[in-house]
Amino acid sequence: MPVPAPSPGQPSLPSAVSRFGPPTLGHSAGARSGSLPGPPSVLPPASGTVPVPAGEPVPQSAAPERTPSPTLQQILRGPSGLGTAGLYLSPRELPSAPAEPAAGRPVPGLYHHPVPEPDAHRVEEVSRRIKAWAVDEVELFPPDWEDQFDGFSLGRYMVACHPDAPTVDHLMIATRLMAAENALDDCYCEDHGGSPVGLGGRLLLAHTALDPLHTTTEYQPDWAESLHADAPRRAYRSAMQYFVQQAGHSQADRYRHDMARLHLGYLAEAAWAETDYVPEVWEYLAMRQFNNFRPCPTITDTVGGYELPADLHALPAMQRVIALAGNATTIVNDLYSYTKELASPGRHLNLPVVIAEREDCSVRDAYLKAVEVHNDLMHAFETAAADLAAEVPHPSALRFLRGVAAWVDGNHYWHQTNTYRYSLPDFW
């Protein structure tokens, strides 16, 4: 179905505003929450290539320039005609063209889209609320971990990833879930007491905080009490309770499914750690399709105050888009956390480490090859999303695709600018 261009005099959105269509009013969950779409992320054209800083050699993995297809350019222009004015931002709401954020340095050659600095007032309020929730409601961390919690910068992360969230309450849905997921990762899998030994049992019991146990009257109280036994389970339980108050039934079930995928990925990585196995590169990428950020962008419609219908979410083409988004953003994490993981005890599997071992190359060449893998995933994501937007121009589908793209860009922004946690290797 062709999408006509805006009529003369109508506020036009620059191509940077959306790769996959104009902002649209939600329905279903949106009607339930009374929300209106907020401003979408300012996304640069798909042809944008991030320059390598002056004086540095262009790495092998520098991303090639890309020109949006005619179909994608048509989608970017959006609808026009009677009743469509409300689908556009007013001129005063249009953000200025983005510049590279001042903090941090992007990985040279990494294909990404710079975003504007997230709204400072929202960042401050989300940061205040998530700290209060973590300390007062779920006792998420002991006092000596406070600096690490603050340094994670959850408020800045979630505001950058969800630019169309209509209210701070909507942003808090994602922020609590993100805090809970990271607490479980740290306490069960990583360096705050985590271990591959016995991980499966711990994960299964924690998962029941998301996907409730239905058991006999005799044993129900024991299970309910177990949900308060440790910080990850307390956080999962509380964050999920807030989430289901805003989410539709299919949205909640979708999230539970994606969290099961995440936990399966944790188990695969733990099994390799127990046997000291370094997977083949393709095997590692298969594990990372499960142990990745997928649960975060998959709730973009709930955080946006609307609902993508279940049949559209289940489309194989939509599932491919979501999977590619999760895969690309997770390799971003591998690249930015590389030096942090090298400095940690033990061997941490990440894509550069696996490439170096399995393809018998230097650590520098392996890192640059990992940048190429990321760029290939990003281009595949954008192509798949643009194709789907052209084939299924449903308003909620278009908005969901834009929301996932905004999450991808916000995730990169947070990794690049979080200099408390991350620094780049000296490979350029």
Count CA atoms within 13 Å of residue 142 on its CB side.
Answer: 5
Mean pLDDT within 327-335: 98
- List all residues 6 or more positions away from 353 whose beta carbon is below 8 Å from its beta carbon: 278, 347, 366
Q: What is the mean pLDDT of the chain?
A: 82
pLDDT tens readout for residues 169-183: 999 999 999 999 999
Mean pLDDT within 299-314: 97
Mean pLDDT within 312-339: 97
- Window from 2-11, 67-76, 231-240, 328-337 with minimum mean pLDDT: 2-11
Q: What pLDDT does 95 receive?
A: 40
Amino acid (1-letter code) at residue 427: F
Using the predicted structure, report yes or no on whether residue 91 has a pLDDT greater than 70.
Answer: no
pLDDT tens readout for residues 238-294: 999 999 999 999 999 999 999 999 999 999 999 999 999 999 999 999 999 999 999
d(C-alpha 188, C-alpha 192), whole Å: 8
Specify the DSSP class assigned to residue 67: -
Mean pLDDT within 311-316: 98
Using the predicted structure, report yes or no on whether residue 352 has a pLDDT greater than 60.
Answer: yes
**Which of 277, 297, 288 lies closest to 334 in space, CA to CA?**
288
Using the predicted structure, report yes or no on whether residue 319 has a pLDDT greater than 60.
Answer: yes
> Considering the entire predicted model, what is its pTM?
0.80
pLDDT tens readout for residues 92-119: 233 444 444 447 899 999 999 999 999 9
Q: How far is CA 122 from CA 30, 133, 184, 290, 356, in A?
A: 20, 16, 26, 31, 42
pLDDT tens readout for residues 195-230: 888 899 999 999 999 999 999 999 999 999 999 999
